[in-house]
Amino acid sequence: MIGVLALVVITVNTCIWFVPIILFAFAKFMLPFAASRRVLSRWIMVMGENWVSFNAFIFAVVNRTQWDIRGLDGLNRKGWYLVIVNHQTWVDIVVMQTALSRRIPFLKFFIKKELIWFPILGITWWAMDMPFMQRHSKSYLQKHPQDKGKDLEATRKACEKFRDTPTSVINFLEGTRFSEEKKVRRKSPYQYLLPPRAGGAALAIASMGSMYDAILDVTIVYPKGVAQFWNMLCGYVEHVVVDIRQRPVEAWMLAGDYANDRDFRRRFHQWLSLVWEEKDRNIASIRSEFVGP
């Protein structure tokens, strides 16, 4: 009953904010003046923050979650950030919005293109300038080589829209939620992570790198076991650890061409592998604080 009631309240809250967000988005689309569009974009982000803040309040009332958020010092809600984070469950999105809301600019997620048709949320994500991505499999690209690189070009165009307004671009670099079965299938060298996919992050840096204040390396750990969305609705999420580490956007990252420069691509993969190795050790360390090594 608690889960159903929480879901109803969150759905009503979403519908309430859906209307003004869509109206402002269409007004922004129609206006020919760049300055006016920037103002409307900021108002839409404020409405988005109010939307997710009320959802976070409902989850807090239901769950009484113990939040352990580390590394908040030095964050600026008027800055630009690229946020990279491990991915285990849909709850990760709620966790990120709760931990970072009003501490950095409103989070912009890379979303699969097909989800634009998701009822209410799809068009809301569009109105909030979320970047929609269409990833092609290796088998598809073998049959349609003319489409190679189009997904990365779409990333570049999506990031270009964020130059005028402080923005946090979040990327789940693993590309999917972690599971032991996926870990085996993808031959992951990590204990708690899947191998990261570098293309989206590289293009986000290439498009806006000089504007980023930092790369936020975020690690999420659920000490009592990975939380599922329905568990959160029902009030079963007891403890969440969010560890935030700021990494600089180094000069070499801005100078390369990920799509066409093999040496740069290799260097970027090496850098990301080191980041992921450190993240894997960090997860192990955090888990050992609660459940032992």
Specify the pLDDT at position 81: 92
Specify the pLDDT at position 155: 65
Specify the pLDDT at position 5: 93
Calpha distance 231→83 (Å, rounded): 26
CB 243 within 8 A of CB 70: yes
Taking only the tens place, the pLDDT of each residue in 208-249 is 777 888 999 999 999 988 888 898 889 888 899 999 999 999
Specify the pLDDT at position 144: 64
Taking only the tens place, the pLDDT of each residue in 19-32 is 999 998 888 888 87
CB 25 within 8 A of CB 127: yes
Specify the pLDDT at position 206: 78
Specify the pLDDT at position 271: 94
User: Which parts of the chain register pLDDT below 50?
Assistant: none
Sorted by where each starts, the structural domains of the chain and their CATH numbers stand as: 66-291 (3.40.1130)
Residue 241 — left, alpha, or beta (φ > 0 → left; ψ -120 to 50 → alpha)? Answer: beta
Average pLDDT across the chain, whole number: 86
Report how far Cα 265 is from the mean position of its chain's Cα atoms: 22
Specify the pLDDT at position 283: 95
Taking only the tens place, the pLDDT of each residue in 136-160 is 556 655 676 666 666 666 666 766 6
Calpha distance 22→280 (Å, rounded): 40
